[in-house]
Chain A
Amino acid sequence: AQSVTQLDSQVPVFEEAPVELRCNYSSSVSVYLFWYVQYPNQGLQLLLKYLSGSTLVKSINGFEAEFNKSQTSFHLRKPSVHISDTAEYFCAVTPLNNAGNMLTFGGGTRLMVKP
């Protein structure tokens, strides 16, 4: 079984400031890792994912996340946030093996960007 912990339920930050949204997971098997974003009044969208290869993955809108196997973390960062980044962010994992591809989500972190 897998579990995902997002340590901060809300993160307030001023526009153009850097931000880090924390995600830690536990799993007995290797996993794929994802960050999803939900903008107000919209459904979930995939932001970025780590499947293999370089441990640093980037999205097209300036977010990046680094997979740290030893710390079982996949923190999401952005050096300078915009008002439009206000949303809820979900970290998720799914096991690599075929025993099941159930997606396990963290509880979500609400990013609130202030002018």
Chain B
Amino acid sequence: GAGVSQSPSNKVTEKGKDVELRCDPISGHTALYWYRQSLGQGLEFLIYFQGNSAPDKSGLPSDRFSAERTGGSVSTLTIQRTQQEDSAVYLCASRSTATNEKLFFGSGTQLSVL
């Protein structure tokens, strides 16, 4: 596609439920990042995928958070047993390591945990 696509754009869920957030990066981009932003806060790094290397999971806040990237393309961020503090905007970004290091962001998924 023309840009990084995230779905859904908005997700409202009940505390304790599991949610899946999807990111479809720009075709050919080998690097993919997940970030989240809570109200009034800066961007918080969550996880980073680069090609076939093991992902950098150092930013995941708890073991309720996990992410996969299938076939080096689409990524899914899963939050199990959601808590109210998980409410935030979850941003995905991708970049090509070939010749361009510019980071392209999706429009985000706004998650609200009630």
Contacts and interface: CB of A to CB of B under 8 A. Distances in A.
Among A43, A45, A101, the most chain B Cβ lie within 10 Å of the Cβ of A43
B113 interface: no
B102 A103 contact: no
B103 A38 contact: yes
Interface in A18-44: 32, 34, 36, 38, 40-41, 43-44
A38 B104 CA distance: 12
B54 interface: no
Interface residues of B, number: 22
B110 A101 contact: yes
B101 A51 contact: no
A25 to B, nearest CB: 16
A46 interface: yes
B101 to A, nearest CB: 6
Interface string B23-53: 0000000000101011110110100100000
A96 B93 CA distance: 23
A46 B42 contact: yes
A58 to B, nearest CB: 15
Given A38-B103, A43-B45, A103 B91 contact: yes
16 contacts: A36-B42, A41-B101, A43-B33, A43-B35, A44-B33, A44-B35, A44-B43, A51-B40, A90-B103, A94-B40, A101-B39, A101-B88, A101-B110, A102-B37, A108-B103, A110-B102
Interface of B: 33, 35, 37-40, 42-43, 45, 48, 88-89, 91, 93, 97, 101-103, 105, 107-108, 110
